[in-house]
Structure 1
């Protein structure tokens, strides 16, 4: 068997619950691609993890009077449960604070890079809070980015995605509000400039989206920075280098390395291709640090990137300013509605809104088109064919033209589902067109039931619509797996087949249908 196509999604900090903006970013889109490839019989490895050692986890623990391990464990369990509720199925979710062997693996990787002089000691100015008597890094400091001026935390700027270590303007300690003072600090760094040609060659061959290409070219033009890979602290994996007792591996470096642990690159060859799904604010770890680690290890991995823009999804103004937690919306609207909507509103450009009112409109669309057509079809089969698939070839007024259109739609779906031209928003649009055209066909041919010349004229049209319903158990499964599974059960079929024109075939004549008591898609 060929090596799997490796799909990754950004590790999520285990400092809070899963937000709807997270689903709208990398996770649902990556899962849809994973499902479509598996349905086509292609080997896939879909991995992610939780950033348990992020500074924000330690900060949240301190504010709540808890241990960081407790915070990481609790929110990790909630995040992974919500992924499952949303239908996001990973093959591997790395749990840094819990997975056996992870700490030793990361320390051995760190020592390997140190032995090669890829990681080296440097003395640089860093932010220090004299009031708290502690170094300020990551979530412990806020200020204006020295590159773009956007205000945010230390580490990586969420607006321009560049590292801002020691370069924040007007830095402020998050714990006490005191200004951060510059102080010389000796830490371990990963200098990128010695890898200039290798990284530039990697980026040229990666087919970067325009905004990522601008980031990488700007880094090259300005001179590649030295990236801190350790800092003084108490939470995280201890730096295993002599002379740096009390230092911990930096969470950004760890997030990049975490992907290699999830794949198990030291146990099996790397795949021929990897696709990374991430938000632009986290792109540095994927597009710069991970390739740097691979280059240092002498490994080559063709990589592609699917980057969603920073999602400015905050409190739901239509619901009294309450946060839009994924669990609440999945419970209220169901995974199908949420998944379908975030694909159309995914912040990859000019997306739509994500709030309860927006999800209500999506649910109304599913009810008014998809579910209305299917409920009418099931009712007609029950009344006119004793609840069984009629013994008739698909046909009816306009069927040949519609069939040709549907077969073209299948090819469009296959292309939009594929990794070469992945376009989930296009997938949703084509699926809606399939349903609407078929519903129109069913309405027009429904008048055949009243033809005085004899019974049975309408049965070919029922068989034709059942062929479309059967196709949707495959065509819609990557986007709305719950509804596609319910539809398949109603038709006595297996869901999740390949997205091909040949799926357009009704169940065997005489098959008894078992429609669900409620809506097929969403609820």
Structure 2
């Protein structure tokens, strides 16, 4: 078997639950691609991790008077449960605090880079909070980004995606609000400038969004930074260097290399070769770790990983229109998945995916998505199942598809199948287009059913071919809709006594075997 195509998604920080923006960003989109490729028979490894050691976990713990371990474990479990509810099916989730050998693996990688002179020691001014007696790094400090001026934390600016490190303007403590006082601090850094030429060559050959390309070009133009990869603190994996015994490996470094552990990449002669191709899904604000720091680490070790970046923008929350029926903010993944189900939520966030521009979440638009599934998709399937029950005693007729307009519709459906393959595929991945194509398929099938409903009044069996034709479309949806709405596609397949998740293509446009007794669900097929 050939090496699997490697799909990764940004590890979320386990300081809180997933919200609707997380689902609209990397996770559902990456799952759609993974499901399509698997259905097509291609080997895939779909992985992510938990950023348990992010400073935001420590901040959450300090504010609530809890231990960081409790925060990470509690929210990590909630995040994993939300992925399951959203039908996001990872092959590998790296759990730093649970996975055996992870801590040693991370420290060995850090130590090798330090021993090779790739990671070096630097003494610089770092903000310090005398009131809390804490060094202000990562989420412990808030200030203005020195590049774009946006409000930022002391690691990465989520607006321009550049590292901020100790250069924040007007830094204040995230816990007490006191101004940070500069103090000399010796920390480990990874200078990127010595890797300028191979990084420039790598970025020139990497498939990415124009905005990400501008980021990389800007870094080259301004001078590649030295990235802090360790900081004083007591939360995280200890830096395995005697000179930094009181420091922890930085969460950005850890998030960048965490996927390598999940893939099985180790050091020395035992290292597993990386795949021929990798596709990473992330929000633009997190792109530095995966588009800059990870390639730099691999290049420094003599490894080039062909990588494509699928970067989304921010999915903004319209707070005035995001309230649920109980008067609370319907923003959390758990809330919307519980109320609307995975089909409705997945379809909605893919249709509104913030690709190339920021988009807004609004409750009324999510309601409208559910309405489309109910009034178009489920309404048509309900009429079809009723026709099979009333006209054919619940059995698939033994006849060929046909009816008024069937040949024209069939040609349109075959073209839609090819367009769906393109929209689902890695070369021109566009889940928004897939949503529009599936809606067109269902609308055309529903119109075909209405046009041919009068055939039932005829006595020579002319009413059966249109029913079989519509069953052909329903059967195709068990494959065509599977990457996008797997829960509903699974219900539809069970109703047709078929297997869900076949290849997306023209071959799926075939009705169930004649004589098959259908078993429609008691409730809606798609959504609920």
Q: TM-score range by the shorter chain?
A: over 0.9
**1:493 aligned onto 2:506:** no
CA separation of 1:254/1:218 partners in 2, compared to 1, >3 Å: closer, same or farther?
A: same
Please show how residues 212-223 of structure 1 align to structure 2 within 5 Å.
Answer: 212-223=212-223
CA distance in 1, matches of 2:524, 2:427: 34
Please show how residues 37-436 of structure 1 align to structure 2 within 5 Å.
Answer: 37-266=37-266, 267-313=271-317, 315=319, 317-319=321-323, 320=327, 322=329, 324-350=331-357, 353-436=360-443
CA distance in 1, matches of 2:359, 2:492: 28
CA distance in 1, matches of 2:122, 2:301: 22
Show the counterpart of 1:462: 467
Task: Return the offset for 1:323.
Answer: 5.1
Contact 1:279 1:309 in 2 (8 A): yes
Contact 1:388 1:509 in 2 (8 A): yes
Show the counterpart of 1:503: 508
CA distance in 2, matches of 1:369, 1:414: 23
CA separation of 1:183/1:352 partners in 2, compared to 1, >3 Å: closer, same or farther?
A: closer
**1:513 aligned onto 2:525:** no
TM-score, structure 2 as length reference: 0.97
CA distance in 2, matches of 1:120, 1:420: 39
Contact 2:322 2:330 in 1 (8 A): no
CA distance in 2, matches of 1:354, 1:500: 32
Contact 1:314 1:323 in 2 (8 A): no
CA distance in 1, matches of 2:322, 2:311: 28
CA separation of 1:414/1:367 partners in 2, compared to 1, >3 Å: closer, same or farther?
A: same
Contact 2:315 2:360 in 1 (8 A): no
CA distance in 2, matches of 1:61, 1:133: 16
The gaps in structure 2 that reach 5 residues or longer are none
CA separation of 1:54/1:314 partners in 2, compared to 1, >3 Å: closer, same or farther?
A: farther
CA distance in 2, matches of 1:318, 1:190: 42
Task: Return the offset for 1:352.
Answer: 5.2
CA distance in 1, matches of 2:207, 2:97: 34
CA deviation profile, 1:331-383 (whole Å, cap 9, x unmatched): 10000000000001111135654233221110000001000000000000100
CA distance in 2, matches of 1:348, 1:126: 36
Contact 2:153 2:164 in 1 (8 A): no
CA distance in 2, matches of 1:352, 1:402: 34
Contact 1:344 1:351 in 2 (8 A): no
CA deviation profile, 1:440-492 (whole Å, cap 9, x unmatched): 001001111123xx231111000000000000000000000000000000000
Higher deviation after alignment, 217-226 or 322-331:
322-331
Aligned length: 521
CA distance in 2, matches of 1:210, 1:224: 19
CA separation of 1:425/1:15 partners in 2, compared to 1, >3 Å: closer, same or farther?
A: same
CA distance in 2, matches of 1:171, 1:291: 30
**1:5 aligned onto 2:5:** yes
Task: Return the offset for 1:131.
Answer: 2.2
Contact 2:395 2:516 in 1 (8 A): yes
Runs of 4+ in 1 over 3 A off after TM superposition: 314-318, 349-353
Secondary structure of the residue aligned to 1:52 is coil
CA deviation profile, 1:397-432 (whole Å, cap 9, x unmatched): 010010000000000000111001000000000000
